[in-house]
Structure 1
């Protein structure tokens, strides 16, 4: 599961289901019959391969991820699933590795050294590269405007090169917890102000440049991957102003003419709570260009066509992300592989188990009425890349997609359930009521009928500090108005994004039971006369 998240409001829901109060469905014997394919033995067969050291942590854009994609596509083919992307199981994603082609920086006509005096992020360079020069740098402190403090007051930045500290807020006392929403609003306001004033370039004073390590230098040389989603391209377009990070030492050289230093300015601003914005008359020039190299990257899709002449046009999507975070960067690490057995080898395994159950049913003449798309996505750990790509380039029409059931971490017991009676019989059910009250009710009924697990709705709480609802691939479907359920075990501390997330720690009976809950819910969705109605606003509130 991805570490990054956004903050929004959600409607509060009950913390856990009580299936004794729910009218169960009539058990479907065919559904029960074919669910036998979803068992611990089959789960182990898949996960012991996907989360093995050989797959090197399945980092997006690396050999391990390609091996996983090949394994999944071959399995889909063996089941007889259709290859829905122009005859392929792969939905290729426009991923590139971005490296710095060249860069130059001078102060007073004297060249400075890359990675010693300055850094340039190649992913922030426009396709055309950049070049700029000036004799007047406008120093704007922290670049903040809030309450009674304003770094821009009395300062003309129109068409200028500006310089500021990279991060920090002089108005906050040390140790103050950052309000993420307020911080984001401040950054957005700054970007808008820069755009309105057609700022020529931005120089960031960043202590990281002074203490850059050899491993970081190598990482910069190797480049950085980025996916060219529409959203990413638009963000890049809106952020084409040249940016250069400089060392504190180089900044002090620029401040020398003003008879001050970075440390003196920071202390003065904090102590007085007054900006120290000023113009530095120093000749400064910089230029840079980048190189983009395509990288293999794909979602893996297997399609099971529905049996009903009318309903087969509608599609249910079952997702799990097959990527993880790859190898340890510490050369002294004893265990170098972040295996990602739970995150999200377990969810990927769940998708494969369900694919087997549904294809077995179809071969026996009991195929689902609606079509089902089994999709393991890539790049979740990088920022939900694969699901975002699919949301922008859907293989099947969005309006025909009835729901997404997403399994991301279903193989272990999370911290809150360790040692408790429900430790082997619960799942966090996230988002089931956000867009569709039908889907929320159906989920409860399915559980009461077949699996009788504790459905914990903790992460639907608007005050959830982790904002889990926004942190996995289902969210890119929810943004399109497609009802979703996200199944999650709640493991956020023990072995999360660490080498300890190993196959040996997976509870395979629990993984299988959680996958069965998803499967039985999918069975109902794929066979009911009507699709779930979208009657909620995406935040758990009834539509007005």
Structure 2
């Protein structure tokens, strides 16, 4: 599930399923029969491959993710699912890596060493690159600008190279986050910025790796426009050694200016006569990146044009070079090898049913997406480039982390019989009721609606692939185990910690809900406003 970042009645937020009060369905014998393919043995056979060290944490745009995509495609093909992308199973995403091919900083005629004295992030370089130079540098303290404290008082920074300290500084009652300070400098048309950050003095292996690997971007129109922009502010991050070399030419030092600002509460800005130049270039390299789609056509001549989507993201975060201990691979067994496994298990159950003459009336798209950990890239790409019209998409059921016990349930009696159900009532009262009925009829799990709370500080509703369907008005349910601390985005998220009976039971809840959605006479009505309130 992605790190980055509705409204129900209080009763529905805090209550759990009370089966005696919920109208149950007539159990479907065919659904039960074919659902037997969703079991712990089959789950292990998939997850032991996807979460193995050989897959290197399945990072988007890298070898492990390609291996996972190939594995899923081959499995879909073996089941007899159709490749819906012009006969293929891959929906290719326009992804590129932008790597620095030139990074030069010269102070007073001396060329400085990259990744020792300074670094440049690829994100601060447009595709046109840049070269900046000046015979002087404006030192502007912390780069703050407010009525209470203004490092730029009496300074004209237009066309000049400015040096600022990244962190610290006096409280001004204004949001002084670095991006805001850099935005101000861009608005003032500074030629470039030297940002003093003492972490340069001892760069971590992780940061070095991040810089050397370049910037990986999905080429949405917004990103393309930004990359081509000539207004990107050139930013060079320097350490205390270079900062003191520059400040020495102005008769001061880093400690001195900090102490002066702290003791007087006034800026210590000055222009320093020392020549400086910097240049950077980036090269674009297209990367292999794809969603993996398997299509099961419905059997009803009228209903088969409608599509139910079942999603899980197969990518994870790859390798962490500076992770503590010997294990550097983030296997992502729960996140989201478990949800991807759930999609594969459901694909098996539904294709078995169709081969036996019990195929679903509506069509089903089994879709494992990539780039979720980068910012929901794969599902975003699909929602903007849908293979099937979004108006014909009746719902998305998303499984993202369904294999472990979250912190709130550790040691509790119901730790092996719960799932967080998120978003079922946000757009459709039909879907919310159906979810409760299916659970009461088949799986009898504890449905926890905690993360439907609009005050949820984790903003879980917005942090997985279902959201890119919900934002287009498509009803969704997100199934999630609540693991946010133990091993989350760490090498410890391994298959040995997966509860396979629980994974299978949660996948069955999703499957039985999908069975009902794919076979009911009517699709779920969209009668809610996206926050759980009835539409006006």
**How does the TM-score come out when normalised to structure 2?**
0.91
- 1:198 aligns with 189
Report the counterpart of residue 127 of structure 1 in structure 2: 127
- Structure-2 change in CA distance of 1:425 and 1:109 (3 Å): same
Q: In 2, distance between residues paired with 1:195 and 1:536? A: 42
SS in 1 for 2:368: strand
Aligned with residue 351 of structure 1, among 327, 332, 343: 343
CA contact (8 A) 1:123 1:226 kept: no
What are the Cα deviations for residues 199-231 of structure 1, in whole angstroms up to 9, with x where unaligned?
A: 332221121222125675465444443332334
Pair 1:201–1:505, CA change in 2 (3 A): same
Q: Is structure 2 residue 114 aligned with structure 1 residue 86?
A: no
Pick the aligned partner of 1:489 from 481, 484, 504.
Answer: 481
User: Which 5+ residue runs of structure 1 have no aligned equivalent?
Assistant: 174-181
Counterpart contact for 2:205–2:322, Cα < 8 Å: no
Match of 1:230 in 2: 221
* 1:285 counterpart residue number: 277
1-structure distance, mates of 2:424, 2:228: 35
1:515 corresponding residue in structure 2: 507
Match of 1:164 in 2: 164
Contact 2:205 2:321 in 1 (8 A): no
Q: Contact (CA 8 Å) 2:51, 2:495: kept in 1 or not?
A: yes
Instruction: Give the 3 Å change call, closer, same or farther, for CA 218–363 of structure 1 in structure 2.
Output: closer
* Other-structure match for 2:142: 142
**1:367-413 CA-partner distances (Å, limit 9, x unpaired):** 22222111111122222222222223222222222221111110111
Unaligned runs of 5+ in 2: none
1:264 maps to 2:263: no
Counterpart in the other structure of 1:503:
495
Deviations 1:303-330 (A, max 9, x none): 1122233322222211111122223414
Please report how far the alpha carbon of residue 147 of structure 1 lies from its aligned counterpart in structure 2 after TM superposition: 7.2
The residue number in structure 2 matching 1:14 is: 13
**Structure 2 counterpart of 1:382:** 374
Report which stretch shifted further, 68-77 or 388-397. Answer: 388-397
Match of 2:238 among 246, 268, 274: 246
Separation in structure 1 between the aligned mates of residue 28 and residue 214 of structure 2, nearest angstrom: 53
Deviations 1:411-432 (A, max 9, x none): 1111111111211110011122
Is residue 229–residue 392 contact of structure 1 (8 Å, CA) maintained in 2? no
SS of match in other structure, 2:132: strand
Return the offset for 1:160.
3.7
* C-alpha distance in 2 between matches for 1:391 and 1:26: 35
Aligned pairs (5 A) from 1:32-51: 32-51=32-51
Deviates more, 1:421-430 or 1:186-195: 186-195
Deviation per CA, 1:486-505: give whole Å up to 9, x if none: 11111122222233322222
Q: Distance in 2 between matches of 1:527 and 1:281?
A: 76
Q: In 2 relative to 1, CA 25–232 (structure 1 residues): closer, same or farther, beyond 3 Å?
A: farther
Q: Distance in 2 between matches of 1:53 and 1:524?
A: 37
**Cα-to-partner distance string for 1:458-497 (whole Å, 9 max, x where unaligned):** 1122332322222222222223232221111111222222
The whole-number CA distance in structure 1 between the counterparts of 2:320 and 2:186 is 39
* Coordinate RMSD, CA, aligned: 2.7
- The equivalent residue for 2:446 is 454
Do structure 1's residue 534 and structure 2's residue 490 form an aligned pair? no
Aligned-residue offset at 1:194: 4.1
1:391 aligns with 2:383: yes
Specify which of 299, 305, 319 is matched with residue 313 of structure 1. Answer: 305
- The verdict on how the C-alpha distance between 1:508 and 1:289 changes in structure 2, with shifts beyond 3 A counting, is same
Question: Which of 473, 481, 485 is equivalent to 2:465?
Answer: 473
**2:30 matched to which residue of 1?**
30
**Cα gap change, 1:168 to 1:366, in 2 (>3 Å):** farther
Change (3 A) 1:150 1:396: farther
Tell me the residue number matched to 1:212: 203
**Post-superposition offset of 1:10:** 5.6
Residues 46-76 of structure 1, C-alpha deviations (whole Å, 9 max, x = no match):
1122122222222222222222111110110
- The alpha-carbon distance between structure 1 residues 218 and 40, as it changes in their structure 2 partners (threshold 3 A), is closer
Q: Cα gap change, 1:286/1:91 in structure 2, threshold over 3 Å: closer, same or farther?
A: same
- Whole-angstrom distance in 1 between the partners of 2:366 and 2:232: 38
Asked whether the equivalents of residues 16 and 454 of structure 1 are also in contact (C-alpha less than 8 Å), the reply is: no
- Tell me the residue number matched to 1:178: none
User: Residues 402 and 280 of structure 1: is their aligned pair in 2 closer, same or farther, counting only changes over 3 Å?
Assistant: farther
For 1:425, the equivalent position in structure 2 comes to 417
Q: 1:79 to 1:284 in 2, by over 3 A?
A: same
Secondary structure, in 3 states, of the residue corresponding to 1:450? helix
* Contact 2:379 2:465 survives alignment (8 Å): yes
Residue 153 and residue 304 in structure 1: after superposition, are their counterparts in 2 closer, same or farther (change >3 A)? farther
Conserved 8 A contact 2:148-2:172: no
CA displacement at 1:113 relative to structure 2: 2.4
Q: Name the SS for the 1:258 alignment partner.
A: coil
SS at match of 1:210: helix
The more displaced of 347-356 and 96-105 is 96-105
Q: Separation in 2 of the partners of 1:543 and 1:234?
A: 36
For 1:328-351, what per-residue CA distance to the aligned partner results, in whole angstroms no more than 9, with x for missing partners? 414883334322211111100000
528-537 or 505-514, larger mean C-alpha shift: 528-537
Residues 82-122 of structure 1 show CA distances to partners (whole Å, capped at 9, x for unaligned) of 10112211112222233211122222333222222221112
Q: 1: CA distance between counterparts of 2:200 and 2:79?
A: 52
3-state DSSP of counterpart to 2:202: coil
Q: 2:4: which partner in 1?
A: 4
Conservation of the 8 A alpha-carbon contact between 1:43 and 1:512 = yes
Q: Is the 8 A contact 2:43 2:341 kept in 1?
A: yes
Residues 414 and 135 (structure 1), Cα distance of their counterparts in 2 relative to 1, 3 Å cut: same
Q: Separation in 1 of the partners of 2:206 and 2:443?
A: 49
Residues 286 and 436 (structure 1), Cα distance of their counterparts in 2 relative to 1, 3 Å cut? same
